């Protein structure tokens, strides 16, 4: 009888070890690293994309830019070299979705403070209203930390081209004006190669959480 229980004990130990190994394999399989997609113009709604690139399927990157931030500093692509960043389009006098977007962007700012290679970039779509002084007042009111987050203004044609041809994020308002636009609630996640890696509803808390998770995934990509 004693030998029977000893044999059962050995079987139980072996079975437990095998079970742990199988569970670990299943867990690792289900949690395997999955890279984020690289978005191309052809993958995005045509209403958000300039007609000249709507069917482009590869090689899309954010174009060079030169804009002025809330501190009257000229901001270019070089300020975001080797950086992951979140971009959006807004205007300071917007009373609908912009306050929500800005609050959520401020929450993202708090979450990324520990990372030197993650930043934020917000473009005004009404540069004729959003002067440097106006952006500075807005930045102070919203808790913008200058080294992490640039609010930029500049030539409206350049901002429009960036919105439609680079970030794929702004609708033409259809009123016949060549450089008028309706911005969306989208936040765009941009990688260190200036590629779009995600779109998120900047007014949706669940999407903000997904964005933060995707930043972690993207950082992991560079650690591979």
Q: Please tell me whether residues 118 and 28 are part of one structural domain.
A: no
Q: Please tell me whether residues 119 and 13 are part of one structural domain.
A: no
Residue range 193-214: mean pLDDT, rounded: 98
CATH number for the domain including 85?
3.40.30.10
Residue range 6-35: mean pLDDT, rounded: 57
Per residue in 57-112, pLDDT (tens digit) is 999 999 999 999 999 999 999 999 999 999 999 999 999 999 999 999 999 999 99
* 220 is an annotated ligand-binding site residue: no
Q: Please tell me whether residues 144 and 110 are part of one structural domain.
A: yes
12-40 as b/e: b if 16+ CB within 10 A: eeeeeeeeeeeeeeeeeeeeeeeebebbb
Q: Please tell me whether residues 162 and 218 are part of one structural domain.
A: yes
Q: Please tell me whether residues 16 and 101 are part of one structural domain.
A: no
C-alpha dihedral sign at 148, 154, 156, 159? negative
Closest CA to 148 of 202, 69, 213, 36: 69
User: Residue 134: in which H helix or E strand, if any?
Assistant: helix 132-142
Residue 29 predicted with pLDDT over 90: no
* 123 is an annotated ligand-binding site residue: no
Q: Please tell me whether residues 14 and 51 are part of one structural domain.
A: no
- Which range marks the domain in which residue 7 is found? 1-32
pLDDT number for residue 73: 98
pLDDT number for residue 223: 84
Residue 30 predicted with pLDDT over 70: no
The answer to whether 128 touches 156, Cβ cutoff 8 Å, is yes
Q: How many CA atoms lie within 13 A of 175 on its CB side?
A: 6
Q: Please tell me whether residues 113 and 205 are part of one structural domain.
A: yes
Domain count, the chain: 2
Residue range 143-160: mean pLDDT, rounded: 96
* 98 is an annotated ligand-binding site residue: yes
Residue 190 predicted with pLDDT over 90: yes
87-112 as b/e: b if 16+ CB within 10 A: bbbbbbebeeebebbbebbbebbebb
Q: Please tell me whether residues 16 and 85 are part of one structural domain.
A: no
Per residue in 110-121, pLDDT (tens digit) is 999 999 999 999
Q: Please tell me whether residues 55 and 164 are part of one structural domain.
A: yes
Q: Is the pTM of this model over 0.85?
A: no
pLDDT number for residue 5: 46
Residue percentage of the chain with pLDDT more than 90: 75
Residue 163 predicted with pLDDT over 50: yes
pLDDT number for residue 176: 47
């Amino acid at each position: 009888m004693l030998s029977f229980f000893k044999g059962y004990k050995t079987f139980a130990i072996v079975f437990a070890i095998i079970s742990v190994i199988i569970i670990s394999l299943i867990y690792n399989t289900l949690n395997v690293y999955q890279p984020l997609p690289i978005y191309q113009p052809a993958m995005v709604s045509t209403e958000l994309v300039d007609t000249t690139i709507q069917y482009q399927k590869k090689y899309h990157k954010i174009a060079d830019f030169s804009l002025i931030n809330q501190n009257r500093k000229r901001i270019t692509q070089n300020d975001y070299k080797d950086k992951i960043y979140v971009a959006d389009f807004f205007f300071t006098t917007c009373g609908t979705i912009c306050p929500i977007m800005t609050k959520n962007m401020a929450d993202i700012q708090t979450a990324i403070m520990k990372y030197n290679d993650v930043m934020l970039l917000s473009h005004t779509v009404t540069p004729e209203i959003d002067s440097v002084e106006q952006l500075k007042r807005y930045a102070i009111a919203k808790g913008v930390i200058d080294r992490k987050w640039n609010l930029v203004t500049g030539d409206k044609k350049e901002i429009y081209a960036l919105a439609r041809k680079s970030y794929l994020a702004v609708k033409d308002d259809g009123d016949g004006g060549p450089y008028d636009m309706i911005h969306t609630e989208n936040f765009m996640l941009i990688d260190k190669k200036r590629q779009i890696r995600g779109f998120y509803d900047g007014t949706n808390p669940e999407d903000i959480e997904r964005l933060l998770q995707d930043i972690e995934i993207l950082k992991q990509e560079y650690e591979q």
